[in-house]
Amino acid sequence: MHHGTLTVNVPRKIFKSGTAEVVPERAAPFREMIMARYPWLTASSVDVLMARASKEMKQVLDEETSGRSASRMLADDGRVREAIDHLTKSLERNPEDPDSWYLLGELLCREGRTEEGYKAFAEGRKRF
C-alpha cells in the first residue's frame, strides 16, 4: 500500500477474516510499529493510511474472489441491483467461475427474478 511516497506492507492479520474490516486490537501493534519506524507520521496520517489499507484490501478480496466479495458487500448494504451488475461484469471476464454463478443466482432470486436465478444456478453447476 502507498501513502504518499511511502510504501507500506500491511499484514492481512489486522483485518477480520475474509473482509476489509480492520480489527482495532490486531491493528494496534502495527500502528505502533509504523509510528515508531516513521516518527514524522502523525496519528491522523496513520488513520488515513489504515483507511487506504482497508480500501485496497477490498480491491484485493474482490480480485481474489472474481467479484464476489464486493458483490456481497453491496448486497449486504441493500444494494442488490448494483451487486448483480458488478457480478455480471465479473462473469463477463471470468465465465468459468461456478461460485460467482451461484452467488448471481442467489442475488437474482433475492430480487424476485427467480427464473433468471435458476438459470444462473444451472450455469454454475455446468462449471463444476
Same domain, yes or no: 21 and 50:
yes
DSSP character string of 114-126: HHHHHHHHHHHHH
Domain boundary among 15, 42, 64: 64
Q: Based on the domain organization, do 23 and 76 belong to the same domain?
A: no
CATH of the domain at 111: 1.25.40.10
Position 3 scores a pLDDT of 67
φ/ψ (deg, to 5) at 6: -85, 130
Q: What global pTM score does this model have? A: 0.71
- As a whole number, mean pLDDT of residues 8-29 equals 94
Are residues 60 and 10 located together in one domain of the fold? yes
Q: Each residue of 37-68: pLDDT tens digit? A: 999 999 999 999 999 999 999 999 999 998 99
Say whether both 85 and 117 belong to one domain.
yes
Q: What is the mean pLDDT of the chain?
A: 93
- 101-114, pLDDT tens digit by residue? 999 999 999 999 99
| Domain carrying residue 83 | 68-127
Q: Which residue shows C-alpha cell 453447476?
A: 125
Strand residues in 1-128 grouped as ranges (E)? 2-3, 6-7
Same domain, 77 and 123: yes
Q: What are the tens digits of pLDDT across the range 83-104? A: 999 999 999 999 999 999 999 9
Q: What confidence category does residue 126 fall into, taking pLDDT thresholds of 50, 70 and 90?
A: very high
Q: Is residue 76 located within the same domain as residue 43?
A: no
Domain count, the chain: 2
- The residue-averaged pLDDT of 5-16 equals 92
Does 10 lie in the same domain as 47?
yes
